[in-house]
Amino acid sequence: MNEIVTIAPWNPWPLAIPVVIAGAGVVVSSLGTRRRSKPVRELGSGIFLIAVIAFAAMFGVMPGSWDQGERRETLIAAGYDSPTFSAEQVVGPGEPAAVAFQAERDGTRVRGVLRHQGGSEWEIAEIVEDT
């Protein structure tokens, strides 16, 4: 079975939350500096640093978990049960990888690959095993 499906790309809007919090930390730190209040200035610096660390952690984890969740939902919608992903093969620099998967279809265990077709289009291609 070769089928073209649409997988929505990751939307980075959640990263706006730590950016806003980091901005608030800068404002609090500035107010502490103006009022010559060391605790307020340090509070603002702490808020800023925590927001930057949260931003880095979110940026490192969220895209991958979003992509895997969307791939899973897409395969389930295409008729596959309990899909798992085993490997990604990098096609070329700057190009999305081909993603290998295993799942059940009509009670039979199948293997396949998701190949990027451009934009948000992906091809589901089953690998036929010679027995």
pLDDT tens digits for range 29-73: 999 999 999 999 999 999 999 999 999 999 998 888 888 888 899
pLDDT tens digits for range 95-112: 667 888 889 988 888 888
- Please report where in the chains the tokens 């502490």 appear, as a residue: 32
Parse the chain into domains and list their residue ranges: 2-6+12-127
Give the DSSP per-residue string, 80-127.
-EEEEEEEEE--STTSPPEEEEEEEETTEEEEEEEEEEETTEEEEEEE
**Is the whole-model pTM more than 0.85?**
no
Instruction: Give, for 39, the enclosing helix (H) or strand (E).
Output: helix 38-77
CB 113 within 8 A of CB 99: yes
